[in-house]
């Protein structure tokens, strides 16, 4: 059974997409929606953060620098996101790990910085297809989790949201089956429980990877799936809203 305190979250990751018109459409649609049972987060590209009026949903960044400030051209500090009314930040997304060579250790450092600045990390873990096929799935995800646990401690997971994104299902149209998603979510929760069972029970774990309105209800009904981190479908206001409504428990 779901713990009553595991409130569902649906976060939209716009990636390098979107424009000012989309912000207006999204805010207009969501300002009239009845979404008291779910926390909705939108994570647009950095230049657009200031374009939201901030009432319809929470905002998040797509990454932060592990530096606090200084001579780091093109980087964005946690303190800046906080000043722009962000509550969340996506960290360790597989695209950052691949495109920007972000290691487990660097991701852990960023999680630490985010927490120090009062941001809630949407901390992403997940395996490429070859890892799943070679049977190393759980070791691979355990290593991603352990880097963060050893950096910030298990108690910090009271303030961290985990997102499981199988890399082979991101933007490919392939979705992990509800059973595949549940299997990994249960593993993540059990892995945290080795350290501290109460924290594991209340940790919110989202699924990401080709979530659509048509498969969201079934995915979100799995006992250890507490919502979603949505890519492509978060760029269509109606699709995104239908996914948010699917997370109502």
Q: At what angle do helices 178-193 and 137-152 cross, to 10 degrees?
A: 40
pLDDT of residue 1: 35
> How crowded is residue 7: how many other Cβ atoms within 10 Å of its Cβ?
16
Q: Is 15 marked as a binding-site residue?
A: yes
Q: Is 174 marked as a binding-site residue?
A: no
- Compute the mean pLDDT over every residue in the chain, rounded to the nearest whole number: 95
137: which residues sit within 8 A by CB, 6+ positions away? 127, 131, 184
Main-chain dihedrals φ then ψ at residue 221, nearest 5 degrees: -85, -5
165 part of the active site? yes
* Top-tier CATH class for 9-246: alpha beta
Q: Is 231 marked as a binding-site residue?
A: yes
Q: Is 210 marked as a binding-site residue?
A: yes
Among candidate residues 27, 93, 102, 109, the one labeled active-site is: 93
Domains of the chain, residue spans: 9-246
Does 3 score more than 80 pLDDT? no
pLDDT in tens, 26-63: 999 999 999 999 999 999 999 999 999 877 899 999 99
The model's confidence at residue 65, banded by pLDDT at 50, 70 and 90, is very high
Does 126 score more than 70 pLDDT? yes
117 part of the active site? no
Does 182 score more than 90 pLDDT? yes
Among candidate residues 66, 102, 165, 185, the one labeled active-site is: 165
Angle at 84 between CA 20 and CA 72, to 5 degrees: 100
Does 249 score more than 80 pLDDT? no
């Amino acid at each position: 059974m779901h713990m009553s305190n595991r409130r569902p979250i649906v976060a939209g990751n716009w990636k390098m997409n979107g424009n000012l018109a989309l912000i207006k459409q999204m805010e207009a649609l969501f300002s009239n929606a009845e979404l008291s049972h779910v926390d909705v987060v939108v994570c647009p590209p950095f230049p657009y953060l200031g374009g939201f009026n901030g009432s319809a949903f929470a905002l998040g960044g797509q990454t932060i620098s592990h530096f606090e400030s200084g001579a780091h051209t093109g980087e964005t500090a946690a303190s800046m996101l906080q000043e722009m009314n962000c509550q969340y930040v996506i960290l360790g997304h597989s695209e950052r790990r691949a495109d920007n060579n972000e290691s487990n250790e660097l991701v852990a450092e960023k999680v630490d910085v985010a927490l120090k600045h009062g941001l809630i990390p949407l901390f992403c873990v997940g395996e490429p297809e070859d890892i799943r096929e070679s049977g190393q799935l759980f070791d691979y995800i355990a290593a991603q989790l352990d880097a963060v646990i050893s950096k910030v401690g298990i108690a910090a997971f009271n303030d961290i949201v985990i997102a499981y994104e199988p890399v082979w299902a991101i933007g490919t149209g392939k979705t992990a089956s509800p059973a595949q998603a549940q299997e990994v979510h249960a593993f993540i929760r059990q892995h945290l429980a080795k350290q501290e069972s109460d924290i594991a029970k209340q940790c919110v774990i989202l699924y990401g990877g080709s979530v659509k309105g048509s498969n969201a209800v079934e995915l979100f009904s799995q006992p250890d799936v507490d919502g979603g981190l949505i890519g492509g479908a978060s760029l269509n206001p109606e699709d995104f809203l239908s996914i948010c409504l699917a997370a109502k428990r």
